[in-house]
Amino acid sequence: MHETRPIASNARRMRLLLVLPKLGIVLLLAALLSLLWLLQHNETEEERSALIKDVLWLEQNLRFHLNGNEEQLQQLAVDLATQPDATGIFRTRAAHMLKTRPEIAQLLWLDANRQSIDELPSGSRPADGIESAIPPIAGKYFEIAGRLGKPVYSDPYFATSGRAHITLLAPVVSERRLTGMLIAIYPLDSLLGNLVPWWFTEKYRVAIVDDNDIQFATKTHIEGSTSQSYQIPLEPPGYGLKLKVSSYPSPGNSLQRLLTVAIVVLGAGVFWSLWIVRDLMRKRTLAEEALRAEHAFRTAMEDSLTVGMRARDLEGRITYVNPAFCKMTGFSSDELVGRTPPMPYWVPEEIEETFAIHRTVLAGKAPPDGFEITFRRKNGERFQALIYEARLIDGNGQHTGWMASMLDITERKAAEELARQQQEQLQFTARLVTMGEMASTLAHELNQPLAAIASYNTGCLNLLARPDYDPASIRPALEKLGVQAQRAGRIIRRVHDFVRKSEPKRAPCALGEIIEDCLGFVEADARKNQVRIECTIPELPPIAADRLMLEQVLLNLIRNGMEAMAGTPEKERLLKVDIALGESELRISVSDQGCGIDPEIRDKLFSAFFTTKPDGMGVGLSICRSIIEFHRGRLWAEDNLRSTSGNGTIFIFTLPLEAA
C-alpha cells in the first residue's frame, strides 16, 4: 500500500514533466505558425487588392477604347446618310480607323438588303481568316440594330480560322429609314493584343471568357500556374463576356512554405523525442483507457442510431445487428445473430423474391441507390423498408461481408400515396370546374343538333302522313338527322371522357387527336368570344402520355388565352397552337395576344392557389405544371414578342419522345 503511493506520485511527476515541455513547444509552434499565417494572409490580401485595382483600370481602358470606336462608327454612319460623296467618306474614314484602331480587323458597309457596298480591307479572304462577307452570327443582329437605331454588339463567335470574334453593327438611317449598316469586326485576341499593355501581361494572365468559362482569347508573357483571379463583366459588348485576370504567385511564397515545413518538422522531431522517453506502462495505461473509451463511444453511438444496421458474412450469415434493427423487426439480437437465410423477418408469401434479392446482394450487384422490400415484425405486422448495402472491409483491407442500413419508410409511403390521391382529386375537381364554366356554352352547342333532330323528325312524320309521299324524299332528311345525332353524340362523348375519374396511366397516344378534341371543346366558346384559333398539326409519332391529363393541360392553357384577350379588339383576337418536333422532345406552345403577364407576378404564376381572376381557384396552372412534370417535361411562360397588339403571352411545354 505504501509502495503504490510513491509510484503514483512519480507517475504524476513524470506526466507533469512531460506535459510542460509539450505545452511550451505547442505554444511556440502555434505562435510561429500564426505569425506565418498572418504574413501570408496580409500578402495575399495585398496582392488581391492590387489585382482588383489593375483589373478595374484595364476594364476602364478597354471600355474607353470600345466606346470611342463605337462613337466614331456611329458618326461615320451619320455622315454616310447625310454627305453626298458617301463612298469617298467611307474609304477615307475607314482607312483612318483601321490605321489608328488596330484592334479592328475589318469594316463592312452593307445596304438595307444586306448586300455589300464596300469593305476595308477589301479582298475575298484576308490572311487572318476573316470572311469579307457579313459574318453569319451578325445576320440576326442586323434587324435588331436597324429597329433600335443605335449600335449593337453581337455574340462572340469563332471564324473558320478558329479565332474568336465579335462584331459591332451601326445602322445608317436616312429620314428615319434604314439605308444601310456599318459592321466592325473585332478579333478578340487582337483586342487584347493591342489594348492590354506589355507591363500588364508581365504580371498577369488576361483572358476573355463567358459564363460557362469558355475561353475566347488570352494574353500573357509568363508561364506557370496562377494563384488567384478576378472576373469583371466586359461591358460593352456584354452577352455574358467577362474579363478574367489571373495573377502569378510571387517568388517569396516558396520560401514561406519551406520555412513553415521546417518549423513543423522541428516540432514533430521534438515531440517524437519526448514520446520515446515515455514509460511502457504509460503506453499500456493509455491504450486501455482508449480502448474503454472507444468501446463506450461505439456502444452509445449504436444505441442512439435510428437507422437499422445489419452485418452479414460472405455466406449471408448475420454477424451483427444494432438496437434500431431489433426494434424495427421485433426480434432480439440473440434471435438474429448467427441465423442464415431464410430470416425470421422475411415475408413468407414473398420468400422467392426475397431470396433472389439476397443472392443479388451477395453477388455484389446491389443497387447503389438502395432497394425497397417488405418485411414483417415478430408480431406479424408488415412494414416497408429501404435498404442500402455496402461492402464490409476489415482492418487488413479484406472483404469480409456486407453491411446493410435499413430505414422504415412505411409512413413515408403512406404519405406519398395520400398526396398522390389528393393530387388526383384536385385534378378531377379542376376538370369539373372547367366543365362547369363551359356548361352554358356546351348546352347551347348541344341544343343545336337536338333542335335539328326534332325538326327533321317532324318533317319526316309530316311526309309520312301524306297519302302521296315518296319514300325516297325522306332519305335526305334521315341522313341529315343521323349527322346531327352523331354531332350530339361527339359532344356528349367529349364531356363524358373529360369528366370521368381515372388513375393516371401513361400509354401510347396521338397528340394530334388530343389537340383536335380540345379544339372541339372550345370551338363554341371561341365563336362566342370572337376568337380565331390557328393550329397546324404536323405528322407526329405516338407519345407515352396520359390522354386526359394532356387534354386538361391544353384546355386550361387555351381557355386562359381566350380569357386574356377579353379586352383585345375583335380583329386581333388570335390564338395560335404550334407544335415543333425536336430530336428528343415535342415542344407545344399556346400563344395569345391578350393583356400579358405583369413581371411582378411572373414568379408566382405557377404557385398553388394564386390567381389573378376574381372568381378563380388558383390551381389551374399549378396542376398543369404538375402534370407536365409527371410526364418528365417542362412548362413555362414567355412574352409574345410577335403579338400585333404589343402584348400577349406564350405558354410552352415539352414532352419527351420516348418509346411508346
Q: What is the CATH number of the domain that holds 610?
A: 3.30.565.10
Kindly state whether residues 272 and 134 are assigned to the same domain: no
Kindly state whether residues 170 and 159 are assigned to the same domain: yes
Asked if residue 287 is part of any domain, the answer here is no
pLDDT in tens, 30-48: 777 787 777 777 777 877 8
Mention every residue, 6+ apart, whose C-beta is less than 8 A from residue 474: 460, 463, 464
- Res 590: pLDDT: 92
Kindly state whether residues 437 and 562 are assigned to the same domain: no
Distance CA 574, CA 568 (A): 10
User: What is the domain-level CATH number for residue 95?
Assistant: 3.30.450.20
What is the SS3 string spanning 637-659? Answer: EEECCCCCCCCCEEEEEEEECCC
Kindly state whether residues 179 and 156 are assigned to the same domain: yes
- Res 4: pLDDT: 46
Asked if residue 252 is part of any domain, the answer here is no
Longest dimension (CA), the chain: 145
Last residue of a domain, one of 382, 408, 434: 408
Asked if residue 254 is part of any domain, the answer here is no
Asked if residue 253 is part of any domain, the answer here is no
Asked if residue 363 is part of any domain, the answer here is yes
Residue 1 has pLDDT above 50, yes or no: no
Kindly state whether residues 87 and 159 are assigned to the same domain: yes
Kindly state whether residues 82 and 25 are assigned to the same domain: no
Name the residue with higher pLDDT: 117 or 457: 117
Domain that holds residue 387: 292-408
Cell of 520: 372541339
Residue 438 has pLDDT above 80, yes or no: no
Last residue of a domain, one of 380, 408, 436: 408
Kindly state whether residues 421 and 554 are assigned to the same domain: no
Kindly state whether residues 472 and 543 are assigned to the same domain: no
Kindly state whether residues 437 and 532 are assigned to the same domain: no
For cell 506502462, what's the residue?
281
Residue 152 has pLDDT above 70, yes or no: yes
Residue 59 has pLDDT above 80, yes or no: yes
Q: For the chain, give the mean pLDDT.
A: 76
Using DSSP's 3-state secondary structure scheme, residue 20 falls into: helix
Task: Please count the structural domains in the chain.
Answer: 5
Helix axis angle, 471-499 to 547-564, nearest 10°: 90
pLDDT in tens, 504-517: 567 888 888 888 87
Distance CA 548, CA 558 (A): 15
User: How far, in whole angstroms, is CA 450 from its chain's centroid?
Assistant: 52
Kindly state whether residues 390 and 531 are assigned to the same domain: no
Asked if residue 118 is part of any domain, the answer here is yes
Kindly state whether residues 590 and 655 are assigned to the same domain: yes
Kindly state whether residues 532 and 640 are assigned to the same domain: yes
